[in-house]
Amino acid sequence: MNPISSNDLQTDPSQFPDLDVYAVAGNPIIHSKSPAIHRRFAEQSKQAMHYGRMQPAIGQFIQTAKAFFAAGGKGMNVTVPFKLDAQALAEVLTARAQLAGAVNTLWMKEGKLYGDNTDGLGLVSDLLGQGIQIQNARILLLGAGGAARGVMGPLLEQRPAQLIIANRSSAKADQLVHLFGELALSHNVQLAARSLQDLQDQSKTPQAFDLVINATAAGLTDQSPLAESALGNIFKPGVFAYDMVYGKTTQFMQQALHRGARVSDGLGMLVEQAANAFLIWRGADVTIDPRAVLLELRT
């Protein structure tokens, strides 16, 4: 077959005739931990498969993905900036993917390309794995972009008492409240929008939250979405602060620590969303241990 892309990193299925071939696609992608994670899952479950990285050029994802599946590729994880492209490419979307508005998992089944979003499942699995109670909790979700939208469905299905979405522009948060309003109502969850500035006003934020999730990308640039004047209204000792960014103690996490909160980065979410994708591809009866893989990555 022709090369999938000039940046293809060992993901040509014809090079692995005796293995099922999977890949993660993103740009940039060389830093991705997904191959190591899926390699361990394959070892744990004795699956004969190869998992590589691919870096399509911006604007070339759909062409690259079509070539990969046409050559016999079995499945693909999709990361920034191609999740919307993956949704457009998929012929069949799961209900989760439709709600999330993006796809991070693709696979071929009976001649059709399916798309799902496992990000929210990954977040919930990691929180529960760390002993965090979501049911009946008061949750603050920072950000109203794709990362926030991608996790809202699974969070609401856990039946928290309240989910507040706070964003720089409350209009974007209002859109998510409208989009997820019916699901929240069906699970008896109080769903509301705030601006980040509202969090500084004690009359609008009268009590601290049980769980605060940063779904903004502020941590990538050593910033926080929270003003110092908002911290006393949000955090108290025992609150759990979770940043989806992984691999470092972000400014958001430092703010939470200084207020007596417990913190976590998003590495566990990465591993758990990968686990859900792996089970979609290889079968729900396959036995893997995501927490053991997470422990290996942290040591």
pLDDT digits (tens, 9 = 90+) for 210-244: 999 999 988 888 899 999 999 999 999 999 999 99
204 classed as catalytic: no
Amino acid 10: pLDDT: 72
- Flag whether pLDDT at 12 surpasses 80: yes
Tens of pLDDT, residues 197-207: 999 999 999 99
SS (H, E, C) the chain: CCCCCCCCECCCHHHCCCCEEEEEECCCCCCCCHHHHHHHHHHHHCCCEEEEEECCCCCCHHHHHHHHHHCCCCEEEECCCCHHHHHHHCCEECHHHHHHCCCCEEEEECCEEEEECCHHHHHHHHHHHCCCCCCCCEEEEECCCHHHHHHHHHHHHCCCCEEEEEECCHHHHHHHHHHHHHHHHHCCCEEEEEECHHHHCCCCCCCCCCEEEECCCHHHHCCCCCCHHHHHHHCCCCCEEEECCCCCCCHHHHHHHHCCCEEECCHHHHHHHHHHHHHHHHCCCCCCCHHHHHHHHHC
| Matching CATH number, 13-117+269-298, of 3.40.50.10860, 3.30.70.60, 3.40.50.300, 3.30.930.10 | 3.40.50.10860
Question: One fold for both 13-117+269-298 and 132-265?
Answer: yes
Q: Is residue 39 within 8 Å of residue 10, measured between CB atoms? A: no
* Rounded distance between C-alpha atoms, residue 287 and residue 38, angstroms: 13
Count of beta carbons in the 10 Å neighbourhood of residue 111:
6
Choosing from 33, 46, 83, 172, which is the catalytic residue? 83
Say whether pLDDT at 295 is over 70. Answer: yes
Average pLDDT over residues 36-49: 97
- Residue 59 burial by CB count (10 A; 0-12/13-18/19+): exposed, middle or buried? exposed
Smallest Cα–Cα separation from 263: which of 281, 280, 251? 251
pLDDT greater at residue 9 or residue 152: 152
For the chain, domain boundaries: 13-117+269-298, 132-265
pLDDT band at 5 (very low <50, low <70, confident <90, very high): very low
pLDDT at position 299 is 87
pLDDT at 9: 65
From the candidate CATH numbers 3.30.2350.10, 3.20.20.70, 3.40.50.1820, 3.40.50.720, the one assigned to the domain spanning 132-265: 3.40.50.720
Q: What pLDDT score does 64 carry?
A: 95
| Model confidence band, residue 4 (pLDDT cutoffs 50, 70, 90) | very low
Q: Is the pLDDT of residue 169 over 90?
A: no
The structure's pTM equals 0.93
Tell me the percentage of the chain whose pLDDT exceeds 90. Answer: 92
Percent of the chain past pLDDT 70, that is, above it, reads: 97
- Report the distance separating Cα 167 and Cα 215, nearest Å: 10
pLDDT higher than 80, residue 67: yes
- pLDDT, residue 3, reads 38
